[in-house]
Amino acid sequence: MMPKSELKKMVREMGGAAGTFSSRKSLIRQLEASPAPAAPTVTVSSDGAFGPAVSAFPGALQNSELIKLVTATLDDAGYDSDKTLCATSFCCDEVNRPLESDLRNSFTNNFVMGGLAGFPFGGATSFGAMAAHIPDGGSCLLAFGPHVGVDSTGKIGTVERRGRANGGSCCGSAVAASGYVAGVLSGEAKKADIPDDALHAQQAFVGDMLLPHAERLEEADDKMQELPYALYDAQKEFIGKIVEQKSSAVADGNIAVLGGIQINTPAGFSDYYLPLSFELYSNKGELLEDFMDDKPFSKVHEIFPGALTNKELVAKITKTLKANGIDKEKTLVATSLCCDEVNRPLEEALSGTFADNFNMGGLAGFPVGGAVAFGAMAAHIPDGGSCVAVYGPHVGVDSKGAVGTVERKGRKAGGSCCGSAVAASGVVSSIFKGEAEAAKIPDVVDAQQYFVNKALQPYAERLEKADEKMVELPYALYDAQTELMTRIVEASASGVSDGLIAVLGGVQINTPAGFTDYYLPLSFNLYDNQAKLVKKFDL
């Protein structure tokens, strides 16, 4: 437990922020349960990565990664960095200046709209002023969000500060506001009026705008983790009103609005930003594009290096095929992906580019439709066209980075992903250890799972020796599926009358809701209709 003397000192350091509330006691009680700061337990990595930040806020990007994402996205949207004015709405706390500096280095300068906790207290007037400063023929980027500290022990809501033996709340304004709304919710305090004086007005507004989220914060497993999400929601609503009212002040350009959570880390580490929204508006306030359809999930690259987002994958497939004379308008896609509903987004992405897809897949992604299904698909290829077969097992990576499981819609607990694959790994392990005998082909009622088990059996020893079986499992399944897919092409390639056969194999990676799925390409080969290898592609 943190000593009360330290708690009271922390409250005093919040100054007016804590003083705007009817009672400091409730705030002290809220902080009292927090353990005293512990000695740093992490070391600085060469790239500035700070694991606890990503563990606490999955999907968070280092500032440098964020800048790359933002500049690449805006470049694709037709932005000219030399004609772009960046406006920021971040908390006045000095720990938030690094991101502003990074944005300034990319867009020449930044207009500051933010105040306590990151709320855009400059309001509609400051947005109008900023709009009048946009270079002729240019557009603007508005980046906003609350901030939260994650200290060297991984504790959320505090961070070590330069020259201070003890750190402190981060964000102090936010923590104070959460104490206020908790008091109002419990009846220990009355809802305060907004003061008609600038002395404490900003903090009063922070508390007032956080009040609708009071119950949500009290019900959270970790209030300090939930707090910045609640503040983000309040700020997004505020930003939305500003853009709605003042978008016309932007003469002839567009308005890109990036919202998320800043994550402050100990000295020597990179700060992070968790993007939660990234939208493009016209100067009439119309939503032109939602850039967050493909929100990245950084844990995937840590586990499966080289994985591409679905959007990146489809773009690379089409570019590669076009470079080799294959017209997507005359190409039929055949997919062999697991029947699990989490795999439909990739099929939809492929269908959106190639008009439709023929489904060859069954449990665990095995092409159980076999040679007959491939032959039927070949008979459906547009005249003078070709086909591309996309196959592979899938694996989940949940919000904590666990492999082989993923959160599922409407379920408090997630579950195995891929369930068929995990079940098969258990069967082949038992057979390998001599604990069970290989089964004989069952009745059709469960024949597919039998074939999954049988195809995986040659890889049993490899799986047993793996450092991380759930990571190795999809690679083993890919190898088993590649063997079957090769035999299918050899048996049925002649069904493709006069076109080519592109075969892409890899591992599909499912992520938590709100993030893009990924695909790790492991092979991409082009065959003629005699099953002769024409070319190997590198994605």
In one-letter notation, the amino acid at residue 70 is V
Maximum CA extent, the chain: 83
Q: How far apart are CA 500 and CA 331, in angstroms?
A: 9
Domain 51-290 has CATH 3.40.1000: no
Q: Would you kindly state where each structural domain of the chain is located, as residue ranges?
A: 51-290, 298-536
CB 355 within 8 A of CB 476: no
Q: How far apart are CA 452 and CA 181, in angstroms?
A: 54
pLDDT at 45: 53
Angle, alpha carbons 279-61-122 (nearest 5°): 50
Burial label for 10, CB within 10 Å (0-12, 13-18, 19+), is buried
pLDDT at 25: 39
Radius of gyration of the chain measured on its C-alpha atoms: 27
DSSP per residue, 127-182: HHHHHTTSPTT-EEEEEE--EEEB-TT--BTB---TT-SS--BTTHHHHHHHHHHH
Same fold? 51-290, 298-536: yes
pLDDT at 28: 36
Determine if the pTM surpasses 0.85: no
Q: How far apart are CA 169 and CA 173, in angstroms?
A: 9
DSSP per residue, 93-133: SGGGHHHHHHHHHHHS-EEE---GGG--TTHHHHHHHHHTT
In one-letter notation, the amino acid at residue 223 is K
The CATH architecture of the domain made up of 298-536 is: 3-Layer(aba) Sandwich (3.40)
pLDDT at 397: 94
pLDDT at 27: 39
* Residues of the chain by 3-state class (helix, strand, coil), percent to 5: 45, 20, 35
CB 337 within 8 A of CB 343: yes
> 220: how many CB neighbours lie within 10 A of its CB?
15
**Per-block average pLDDT, block size 10, for the chain (539 residues)?**
38 37 38 41 63 89 88 86 95 93 89 95 95 95 96 93 85 95 95 91 95 95 95 96 95 96 93 93 93 78 94 93 91 96 92 87 96 96 94 93 86 86 97 92 89 97 97 98 97 94 97 87 97 93
Which residue, among 508, 503, 504, has the nearest Cα to 531 in the 3D structure?
503
pLDDT at 296: 76
Length of the chain: 539
DSSP per residue, 486-529: HHHHHHHGGGS-SS-EEEEEEEEEE--TTS--EEEEEEEEEE-T
The single-letter DSSP state of residue 194 is P
